[in-house]
């Protein structure tokens, strides 16, 4: 019954055999979806929740993906972005084919991501200074002065983060110390802003909130780009 439906979808025999064998080997479920005005069904493969995938359809080969896409109407086919990631998912699944749980892929990805996070922060250092330049555009400060302030805060942040990591290995007391470090890391920047730029607390807190929102947005974009680069270089 499955083979008949796959042939009705317009797939060639090689792709039909590939899909059928995959469904037998790993219990892949294949749905044949009929749409109004179309006698040929389109194919929806239910994905394994533990597999490497970037769409709601799971494929094992480029040929299988292309053949299934060809059964869809032009407006229903994947766009270039989804197509790019779907093809990368196929490559990664081939590389991690013995990793049914996805654990090894997750470990490799998180290891690479963790090592790149500090690099992302480093590249955002000029952005950090630029945001302060914009926030204090009416004040008589050069960009280089904002950059020195940013470097000063980065030094504090890395030092505090290092102590935080060390305290994580100490039970009970380490948790209390880390809580205090977290509060200090949050409070340190507005205090430094107040001393550096000498504005009222109301303006300082307001600009601190604006800066935090803008910098977190930049950090999100930076980490997203970093994650995509890692994904295509694993």
Q: Are residues 80 and 119 in the same domain?
A: no
Strand pairing report for 29-33 and 42-46: antiparallel
Q: So what's the pLDDT on residue 1?
A: 44
Given a cut of 50, is residue 34 above it in pLDDT?
no
Q: Are residues 141 and 173 in the same domain?
A: yes
Who has greater pLDDT, 9 or 199? 199
With cut-offs at 50, 70 and 90, classify the pLDDT of residue 132.
very high
Q: Are residues 16 and 130 in the same domain?
A: no
Q: So what's the pLDDT on residue 74?
A: 74
Which structural domain, as residue segments, surrounds residue 57? 2-100
Q: Are 29 and 23 in contact (CB under 8 A)?
A: yes
Q: Are 208 and 189 in contact (CB under 8 A)?
A: yes
Q: Are residues 197 and 153 in the same domain?
A: yes
Please give the tally of structural domains in the chain.
Answer: 2
Nearest to 223 by CA among 120, 130, 101: 120
Who has greater pLDDT, 87 or 149? 149
Q: Are residues 93 and 9 in the same domain?
A: yes
Who has greater pLDDT, 29 or 191? 191
Chain mean pLDDT for the chain: 77
Q: Are residues 78 and 161 in the same domain?
A: no
Q: So what's the pLDDT on residue 26?
A: 47
Q: So what's the pLDDT on residue 15?
A: 56
Give counts: helices (H), strands (E), the chain: 9, 2
Q: pLDDT digits over 83-92, tens only?
A: 788 788 877 7
């Amino acid at each position: 019954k499955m083979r008949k439906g796959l042939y009705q979808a317009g797939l060639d025999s090689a792709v039909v055999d590939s899909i059928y064998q995959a469904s037998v080997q790993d219990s892949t479920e294949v749905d044949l979806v009929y749409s109004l005005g179309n006698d040929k069904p389109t194919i929806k493969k239910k994905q394994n929740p533990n597999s490497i995938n970037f769409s709601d359809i799971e494929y094992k080969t480029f040929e299988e993906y292309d053949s299934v896409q060809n059964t869809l109407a032009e407006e229903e086919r994947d766009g270039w972005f989804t197509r790019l990631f779907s093809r990368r998912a196929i490559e990664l699944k081939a590389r991690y084919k013995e990793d049914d749980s996805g654990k090894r892929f997750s470990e490799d990805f998180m290891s690479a991501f963790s090592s790149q996070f500090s690099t992302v922060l480093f590249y955002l250092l000029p952005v950090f200074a630029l945001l302060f330049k914009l926030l204090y555009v009416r004040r008589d400060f050069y960009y280089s002065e904002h950059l020195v302030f940013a470097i000063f805060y980065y030094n504090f942040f890395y030092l505090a983060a290092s102590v935080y990591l060390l305290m994580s290995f100490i039970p009970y007391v380490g948790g209390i110390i880390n809580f205090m470090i977290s509060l200090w890391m949050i409070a340190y920047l507005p205090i430094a802003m107040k001393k550096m730029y000498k504005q009222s607390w109301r303006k300082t807190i307001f600009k601190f909130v604006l800066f935090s929102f803008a910098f977190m947005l930049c950090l999100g974009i930076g980490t997203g780009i970093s994650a995509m680069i890692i994904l295509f270089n694993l």
